[in-house]
Structure 1
Amino acid sequence: MALRRLARRALHRWLPVHLPPQPLVSFSCGIRGHIFLRFSTSSSDQPHFMVDYLVSTCGLPPDKAAKAAPRFAHLSSPSRPDAVLAFLRSRGLTRAQARAVVSWNPAVLLSDVDATIAPKFRAVRSLGLTRAEAARLFALYPPALAMGVHTNLLPRLLLWLDLLGSARLLMKWLTKTWLLRNSVDALLQNLGALRSHGVPEARLAATVRLKPSLILQSPAKLRALTARVDACGVPRGSRMYAWALLTLHNVSDAAFRAKRAAVMRGTGCTEQEFLAMFRRAPCFLFMSAELLRRKVEFLVDTVGCGADHIVRDPVLLTLSVSKRMVPRCHAIEALKARGVDIGRERLVNIVRASEARFVERYILRYSDQAPELLEMYPPDHRKGSSRGDCSTIASSCSSQGD
């Protein structure tokens, strides 16, 4: 709500009450044959000057410039294209970014800067984005320059800022996906569908922040995804339901089958036991089938963990072998080699323990007796789970039941 009030105040200050029509003229041309179409506003047979302008000034390939040039046939000088490029550069876009915008839609060069482009930059800044963030937004998503300020641009930005919670996350995800491509209605439809499946508001927001593409898919694909989660027996409304959605959104049917086979072969579990593992900790399926196979093998052969223990505690499969389990095993071996009595705690519980507990209980406590521990278990290993551990999700999975 605070974002919306901020936008209303800023828009009242910076934008006219009635904006002139703003869509850019779309360009679609069925030119065939010659790369350089020769045309002119006079009887001359020379190529229009905009062909060379689009190539030399805007960096378009010659064939694309030739196809776009007819749109500029009425121009007698490059003053308007020059004004557009100068404005984009003045608002923080680099030369390469401005060229990328023009390459996406050369017709942007026909825009009236004051009437159609400047209001969009003011609108974005009114939401609290910095000058650099506004420039990057239009560079990352050039179609935003063709959006109506009130009808599309602001509503989409406001919704995403509400969902993601910050301009920083907005910019992060814009670098990875065309986050603004879906209408507000389509996004709200998907959000409503997830709420109807019992996903609570806080969990929904956390899930979208982790993977915005979950609500960027079509409603039909979202329905198919929820059907897959239902088929795995994850109860709607359970605390694991959102994580199951997130996991299967990233894991295809074929990959799911391959990973199921790897785990079943390694642990000897049944399909129903595998599904129970998934319901307890869906995130272990982010690993590849080969990595899951190696983790099961390491846990059984080196850690001494029974296969039945893995089935009961699938969060073990989210722990990194190289950054967590191996360094901890080496540390314990070093202590035993020194004759240090570390008690009777099982190795599987040691690798499962939190990072803070392990460092305090086995590294700092015995650093005088085994100073090599500080080298064997350096600070970069004391960060806990690696990126591959899905640590954000695993922390939630670890305390959940079936």
Structure 2
Amino acid sequence: MEREARLVVHVAEVEALKASAKLSHLKSPSKPDAVLAFLADLGLSTTGVATVVARDPKFLCAIVDGRTGLALSRSEIARLVPLAANDHFRSKSVVSKVHYYLRLFGSFQEFLRALKGNQHLLSHNLERVVKRNVGLLQECTLGSCDIGKLAISMPRMLTANVEQIRAMVASAEGLGVPRGSGMCRRALQSVAFVSEEKIATKMEYLKKTFRWSDAEVGIAVSKGPFVLKRSEDMLKRRSEFLISEKYMVQQGKVQTVYGT
């Protein structure tokens, strides 16, 4: 027990004890030493190494040579490892997943941003889950760029179940935003993981606050679905401003609500 605990360098005592139980099978420190040397070579700080080992003690058993296929710089790998360290990162499939996400998001920085928002990106099956969801979004005639932007703002949708994605698309169409329209991405972003009841409640609030008819609120939301993401407090202030300034012309009302 003592020998394995010593392998967990820079980790707090409690975490080291937890980790040692998962490393009790080790007969030689050569592999952990190689991993620690790899992490040190990446330039990880003491805290960074502690984070990696605490998250995944078995990372000390990884074959680190395989990570060179990620097509990332040393500094990029150093930023990725503390976020991604788990049994899935030790899998060979991580290389194809990282390559796919780099293409989808357009840059390592955006991929990292999405991973911070959804650390399950590397654990879900790429073909059966992620690409399936991307395919459903493509059916809305969204291009790769739009899907990438959508996924950056809402990375959870890449690993959501298929019913949630279909419900999201149906809700966007229910706002009067057809597939393929320029506002489709905004509509999907505005209704993602929001229940029909909450959408209906927000629509009713808009109608009451701005004194709109059903037709007017429908026009407003279809032209700018992101109004559904605005807080009630902000919408109330906008409404008071509009009414006080007598901005009651239809076009003026709608544009001012959106902040344009």
Same fold (TM over 0.5): yes
Please state how far the C-alpha of 1:162 moved relative to its aligned partner.
1.2
Counterpart secondary structure, 1:198: coil
Contact persistence 1:163–1:205 (CA under 8 A): yes
Q: Counterpart in 1 of 2:40? A: 89
CA distance in 2, matches of 1:68, 1:201: 41
Please state how far the C-alpha of 1:244 moved relative to its aligned partner.
0.7
| 1:170 aligned onto 2:114 | no
Q: Counterpart in 2 of 1:157? A: 98
Q: Counterpart in 2 of 1:181? A: 123
Alignment of 1:336-347 (within 5 A): none
Seen in structure 2, the aligned counterparts of structure 1 residues 75 and 239 have a Cα distance that, compared at 3 Å, is closer
Alignment of 1:173-212 (within 5 A): 173-178=114-119, 179-185=121-127, 186-212=129-155
CA distance in 1, matches of 2:81, 2:210: 51
Q: Deviations over 1:266-319 (max 9, x none)?
A: 221133432221111111222112211111111221x431174455x2x42221
Q: Counterpart in 2 of 1:274? A: 217
CA distance in 2, matches of 1:117, 1:175: 23
Q: Counterpart in 2 of 1:306? A: 248
Contact persistence 1:133–1:171 (CA under 8 A): no
Gaps of at least 5 residues in structure 1 are 1-47, 320-351, 353-402
Alignment of 1:1-400 (within 5 A): 48-50=1-3, 52-53=5-6, 57-59=10-12, 61=14, 65-75=16-26, 78-111=29-62, 116-120=63-67, 122-124=68-70, 127=71, 129-143=72-86, 145-148=89-92, 152-178=93-119, 179-185=121-127, 186-249=129-192, 251-253=194-196, 255-301=198-244, 303-306=245-248, 308-309=250-251, 313=254, 315-319=255-259, 352=260
Please state how far the C-alpha of 1:138 moved relative to its aligned partner.
1.1
Please state how far the C-alpha of 1:92 moved relative to its aligned partner.
2.1
Seen in structure 2, the aligned counterparts of structure 1 residues 176 and 298 have a Cα distance that, compared at 3 Å, is same
Q: Deviations over 1:68-123 (max 9, x none)?
A: 43443344665543432232111222211111111112122233xxxx11221x11
Seen in structure 2, the aligned counterparts of structure 1 residues 288 and 316 have a Cα distance that, compared at 3 Å, is same
Please state how far the C-alpha of 1:60 moved relative to its aligned partner.
5.2
Seen in structure 2, the aligned counterparts of structure 1 residues 232 and 161 have a Cα distance that, compared at 3 Å, is same
CA distance in 2, matches of 1:174, 1:139: 11
Please state how far the C-alpha of 1:189 moved relative to its aligned partner.
0.8
Please state how far the C-alpha of 1:176 moved relative to its aligned partner.
3.2
Seen in structure 2, the aligned counterparts of structure 1 residues 168 and 86 have a Cα distance that, compared at 3 Å, is same
Please state how far the C-alpha of 1:200 moved relative to its aligned partner.
4.1
Contact persistence 1:268–1:307 (CA under 8 A): no
Q: Deviations over 1:207-229 (max 9, x none)?
A: 33444333332222111211222
Aligned amino acid, residue 146 of structure 1: R
Please state how far the C-alpha of 1:190 moved relative to its aligned partner.
1.1
CA distance in 2, matches of 1:196, 1:141: 30
CA distance in 2, matches of 1:56, 1:85: 8
Give the number of aligned pairs: 257
Q: TM-score, normalised by structure 2?
A: 0.84
CA distance in 1, matches of 2:21, 2:155: 39
Q: TM-score, normalised by structure 1?
A: 0.57
Counterpart secondary structure, 2:192: helix
Counterpart secondary structure, 1:181: coil
Contact persistence 2:9–2:50 (CA under 8 A): no
Counterpart secondary structure, 1:175: helix
When Rg is computed on C-alpha atoms for both structures, the one with the higher figure is: 1
Aligned amino acid, residue 66 of structure 2: P
Q: Counterpart in 2 of 1:19? A: none
